[in-house]
Amino acid sequence: MTAVKEAARRPLGHFAERSVAGLLAVAGAGAGFGLLLILVRFHWSPLYHADREAAEWFNALVAPRHALVTVLQAVTDLGGRPVLIWLVSVAVVGLLIRRQARLAVYLIVTGVGGLVLDPSLKALVGRLRPVVDVPVASAPGNSFPSGHALGSFVAYGALLLVFLPAMAPRWRRPAIALVALLVTLVGLTRIALGVHYVSDVVGGWLLGAAWLGVTAYAFRLWRRERGRPVPPLTEGLEPEAGHDIAPAPAEEHVLEHPRSAVAELLVGWVLVFGALYAFGVYVTRYAEGTVFGALDTAVPRWFAERHTAGLDELSWWWSKFGDTHAILLVSLVFCPVVLAVWRRWRPVLFVALAMFGELTLFLAAAAAVDRPRPSVENLDGPMPTSSFPSGHIAATICLWTAIALLVFPRTARWWRWVFVALAVLMPVGVAVSRMYRGMHHPTDFMGAILLGAPWLGLLYWAIRPNADVRAGNRPAIRPAQVSELDDELAKAARPD
């Protein structure tokens, strides 16, 4: 017993003895980063000239090609903090729901370490960003090391180690290769966009490898100290958790009859578009002198006469609840949580198709009807799409109604009524703000309802997103157990 306690006091020695190859790799990455840091800090001339030549070559290649710049910016966003923080945060919540607090702690520690290392080292080195002939992108702060290279290596690597056990063995090597390719592409985009030198990106990769290696092997050491087997890293951190963290281990197939469901949705989409187009053409060209025409004239003017600075600000913020970024953010948080709690893909498919159908129907109807905005002051200025139907309102209707349809039958708790209220209040609030800002007519709001209601009804009938509830499916954590999640992090931190 004394020997065991003594060994526990020497974790670094056990780390070296039991993980020699891994320790050497981590030490090599750390030493490489340290050497590169010294060369950059003391402005070693050969490195400086090589970095400058590479930056100029990439700028000459990329700057004249605007389409390539767009692609590079899309790829580089995958290594940005908003995406990485979202991925890690959603993964942590899902792991806590699945009662895997140790893995959640690992992700938190690894992610926070990466967030701390990046700005602190940039401040220490103080290297300025490249100056190129034709700037195509910009980034704040100093240059060394690349935060995108470091963050993507740490975040995607940690997520891979955590979720490898949930994958079938035949998919693990392709997953590792895909993550390696993604991290490499993110780093290369930083060089190609002219916001980092080659040495900045290489430094980010080396530091990311060192930090990820330290945390991964510390986790493996923790398992070994407690008598648990330590598998190869190619099997993930905790292979025995594979079933628990798999997205939908009990679901054999998403849809019982996928071909007929696809056919039903395609036919339904065409019918909804036809109804939208007919109503849009009517209110645009033939509604003058009718109640619809009177509403479309009087309501925008009534709002325009009551503009104030305070209401302008309030309407701007409320209108943002219906824009693409807000809708996407809510969807990308709600869907993973639903998947973690109920272990079914069908509700996620329901939300995804609701938003995809809304977007395609809106774009098609807006292009076909081509209705001008109300003849009052448009507070948001010129918009790329026409007035009918309102995309903000339609997206809000589809998202919050879909969420309410999923949550309400899946819990008996009082807060399910909150989602019902949101399904009403959010679209109404967005509609009022859009009409107040002079961006839509009342019949554009009606068009959004005409889009959302039948499309969601069709989806609910074809997808049957709550079929698992009727079959007796229960959430991964019951409502009465929600308070227990608060203790999970503390339990994981205590020794066995």
Q: How far is CA 141 from the centre of its chain?
A: 24
Count of Cβ atoms closer than 10 Å to residue 462 Cβ: 19
Domain that holds residue 287: 258-481
Whether residue 204 sits in one domain with residue 74: yes
Dist. CA 476–CA 410, nearest whole Å: 12
Cα–Cα distance list, 493 to 38, 92, 126, 452 (Å): 36, 15, 36, 47
Say what the pTM is.
Answer: 0.76
Whether residue 262 sits in one domain with residue 209: no
Predicted confidence pLDDT, tens digits, the chain (496 residues): 444 444 444 444 444 444 566 566 777 777 877 888 788 888 888 888 888 888 888 888 888 888 888 888 889 988 888 889 989 998 998 888 888 888 888 899 898 888 888 888 888 888 888 888 888 888 888 888 888 999 999 999 999 999 888 888 888 888 889 999 999 999 999 988 888 888 889 989 998 988 888 888 888 878 777 777 777 777 777 888 777 777 776 566 777 778 888 899 999 999 999 999 999 999 999 988 899 989 989 999 999 888 998 998 998 999 988 888 888 889 988 988 888 888 888 899 999 999 999 999 999 999 999 899 988 888 888 887 888 999 999 999 999 999 999 998 888 888 889 999 999 999 999 999 999 999 999 999 999 999 999 999 999 999 888 887 766 665 654 444 444 444 444 454 444 4
Q: How far is CA 214 from the centre of its chain?
A: 27
Whether residue 310 sits in one domain with residue 206: no
Copy the structure tokens of residue 179: 């993550």
Q: Is residue 336 part of a domain?
A: yes
Whether residue 159 sits in one domain with residue 126: yes
Q: Is residue 490 part of a domain?
A: no
Q: Is residue 214 part of a domain?
A: yes
pLDDT digits (tens, 9 = 90+) for 6-16: 444 444 444 44
Dist. CA 375–CA 333, nearest whole Å: 38
Whether residue 262 sits in one domain with residue 240: no
Long-range CB contacts for residues 362-368, cutoff 8 Å, separation at least 24 = 362/389, 362/391, 362/394, 362/395, 362/451, 364/273, 365/273, 365/276, 365/277, 365/280, 365/389, 365/447, 365/451, 366/391, 368/277, 368/280
Dist. CA 434–CA 446, nearest whole Å: 13
Any idea what DSSP says for residue 345? S
Q: Is residue 488 part of a domain?
A: no
Among the candidates 245, 273, 294, a domain finishes at 245
φ, ψ for residue 481, nearest 5 deg: -95, 0
Among the candidates 245, 274, 299, a domain finishes at 245
Count of Cβ atoms closer than 10 Å to residue 78 Cβ: 17
Among the candidates 212, 245, 278, a domain finishes at 245
Whether residue 267 sits in one domain with residue 215: no
Any idea what DSSP says for residue 486? G
Dist. CA 395–CA 354, nearest whole Å: 9
Whether residue 329 sits in one domain with residue 219: no
Whether residue 269 sits in one domain with residue 234: no
Whether residue 418 sits in one domain with residue 332: yes
Q: Is residue 495 part of a domain?
A: no
Any idea what DSSP says for residue 194? T
Any idea what DSSP says for residue 485? G
Dist. CA 78–CA 163, nearest whole Å: 19
pLDDT digits (tens, 9 = 90+) for 48-88: 888 888 888 888 888 888 888 888 888 998 888 888 998 99
φ, ψ for residue 373, nearest 5 deg: -70, 165
Q: Is residue 380 part of a domain?
A: yes
Q: Is residue 493 part of a domain?
A: no
Q: Is residue 397 part of a domain?
A: yes
**279 in Cβ contact with 365 (< 8 Å):** no
Whether residue 404 sits in one domain with residue 443: yes
φ, ψ for residue 253, nearest 5 deg: -150, 150
Whether residue 167 sits in one domain with residue 109: yes
Domain count for the chain:
2
Copy the structure tokens of residue 73: 């910016």
Whether residue 287 sits in one domain with residue 170: no
